[in-house]
Structure 1
């Protein structure tokens, strides 16, 4: 499903952003057709980079949900998303990710043109859809990848090795799932307040 690949894309870009914020170097970002992905980093603060995938996806979902409450904010969010896709297109190491970038840039451009030139006002709804999808898939992926089945190479398992805490990977998955759920609830609550 192409929209699920966008969620994987935002997950991996969140790892890359965390790496850059902690003075690391992003060597590559890959998205695979089987809805998996990897971000290769060097340096940076690992305990900040590892949870950034799931939590970053939830955070960006919340931002997009809130941006959808206002047309100007939705335009800015769509523009930022398109610029990010262009940058990642040139950083991509595989064609699956490049095709996702091309497809969603075209999708956003068409939505924007329809928004500005016709009576079809869909840009806010597209931004809302992408935001909700990211928030929901983040919570779902945390449950599927980290809690219900134990994947030994998951971000949470690696985080449990790095963080000197008695929590194992499942414990970190529960904590990250709770935080992601709070992001989703916060986005819905603030969105309803803004719209009321």
Structure 2
């Protein structure tokens, strides 16, 4: 542990500069193309990870997942039975932020990039069998093929493109989760949102908007932590 450069002394070397610059470029590209159809598949992947996080929270609290849906309008639903509801509800937004951080950190190393891509493909395969609509099935199949093609291209060329794809998914997921929290829970205050439901069952005197702000802050911390930890790993 003493060898870990937590203070980021002598930052930044070439790899760290490339890491920061790539995240910056991806952020600009994502914001510039936010309203275009080009980002729709990646937005739907964020929704997929949101719903997957609900499902994982349900299973980890001894519940049953009866099905998942991801809709073309960037909405989704996970049907659960049992489990601990007050853990399942926040798991969607916070989980997608967490997975964004995981993807960003995984992209810092070729081995972890492969592991992340492999586990992501496995998750897509598992969800493919419990998907209850063709939007989600098509999304799973499309990204399995996409990642497989990118992986093959990486192994056959010198350009390590897979790590940049994983990093892009991570940045996209982190940005979209923060935006989604703001859009659903704060600016528009969707009354059927996870935060509103959480406010109803939580004994704390906090509204859905309040929980949205708390979750948004936590998601932003995940994003900042991913950049910092990425620099530490690369140092």
- Which residue number corresponds to residue 16 of structure 1? 55
Secondary structure at the aligned position of 2:196 is classed as helix
**Distance in 1, Cα, partners of 2:116 & 2:182:** 28
TM-score w.r.t. structure 2 length?
Answer: 0.82
Gaps of 5+ in 1: none
2:132 is equivalent to residue 97 of structure 1: no
Alignment of 1:105-184 (within 5 A): 105-184=144-223
**Distance in 2, Cα, partners of 1:184 & 1:118:** 31
2:72 is equivalent to residue 33 of structure 1: yes
**Distance in 2, Cα, partners of 1:43 & 1:155:** 16
**Distance in 2, Cα, partners of 1:2 & 1:64:** 17
Structure 1 runs of 4+ aligned residues shifted over 3 Å read none
**Distance in 2, Cα, partners of 1:189 & 1:147:** 27
Secondary structure at the aligned position of 1:91 is classed as coil
C-alpha RMSD of matched pairs (Å): 0.6
- Which residue number corresponds to residue 14 of structure 2? none
**Distance in 2, Cα, partners of 1:143 & 1:182:** 15
Shift of 1:119: 2.4
2:139 is equivalent to residue 78 of structure 1: no
**Deviations, residues 80-137 of structure 1 (Å, cap 9, x unaligned):** 0000000000110000000000000001100110111122320000010001111110
- Which residue number corresponds to residue 52 of structure 1? 91
Shift of 1:193: 1.8
Secondary structure at the aligned position of 1:29 is classed as strand
Larger Rg: 2
Gaps of 5+ in 2: 1-39
TM-score w.r.t. structure 1 length?
Answer: 0.99
Count of residue pairs brought into register by the alignment: 196
2:102 is equivalent to residue 66 of structure 1: no
2:50 is equivalent to residue 2 of structure 1: no
- Which residue number corresponds to residue 187 of structure 1? 226
